[in-house]
Structures are given as structure tokens and as C-alpha cells.
């Protein structure tokens, strides 16, 4: 696993597939109303939710994904 961090970790690359990269973003609340997350799961024993993104092509890094990456990055300073 590769962790990308600012002051604290804000994104995890959990898989490098043959044709994809799997990224996990932790947030305090679930963001259910979106099209970019393939899975949202509560972290057992914590008050955070892991949001899973799978990137297959450069085009998958769209505005929605970039919004959540920026949100995770900004949130890492407040955690």
C-alpha cells in the first residue's frame, strides 16, 4: 500500500492492477450521492468511512474525482 499524505494521510493506493489503480479516501461522512466511488465502507471501530475509487484511464480523473481528492487533502489538515 502506498499512502499519499500532507500533514496526515489523505489517500491510499491499495492496488496497482494490470489496467487500473485502486485508491481509498477516508472521510468522516459517507458521500453516497456520486458516481465515482465503487464502494463506501465504515471503518470498524472508527467514525470514518473509506471511499474506494478505481481508475482505469486518464479520463477517469474527472471533475468529480478531483473534487473528492481535494476534499480529502483539505480534510487531512483538520483531522
CA 8/CA 26 separation, integer angstroms:
11
| pLDDT at residue 64 in the model | 94
Whole-number pLDDT of residue 6: 47
Return per-residue pLDDT of the chain as tens, 79 residues: 655 554 566 788 889 999 999 999 999 999 998 889 999 999 999 888 999 999 999 999 999 999 999 998 887 555 4
- Whether residue 18 is contained in a domain is answered as yes
Split into its structural domains, the chain has a count of 1
Query: pTM of the full predicted structure?
Result: 0.82
In a domain, 73, yes or no: no
Containing structural domain, residue 48: 2-58
47 falls within a domain: yes
Q: What one-character-per-residue DSSP string does 9-36 give?
A: EEEEEEEE-SS-EEEEEEESS---S-SS
Q: What is the maximum span of the chain, computed from C-alpha positions, in angstroms?
A: 35
Look at residue 9 in the predicted model and tell me its pLDDT: 67
68 within a domain of the structure (yes/no): no
Amino acid at each position: 500500500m502506498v499512502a499519499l499524505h500532507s500533514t496526515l494521510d489523505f489517500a491510499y493506493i491499495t492496488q496497482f492492477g494490470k489496467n487500473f489503480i485502486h485508491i481509498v479516501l477516508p472521510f468522516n461522512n459517507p458521500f453516497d450521492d456520486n458516481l465515482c466511488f465503487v464502494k463506501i465502507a465504515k471503518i470498524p471501530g472508527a467514525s470514518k468511512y473509506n471511499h474506494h475509487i478505481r481508475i482505469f484511464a486518464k479520463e477517469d480523473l474527472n471533475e468529480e474525482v478531483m473534487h473528492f481528492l481535494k476534499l480529502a487533502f483539505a480534510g487531512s489538515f483538520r483531522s
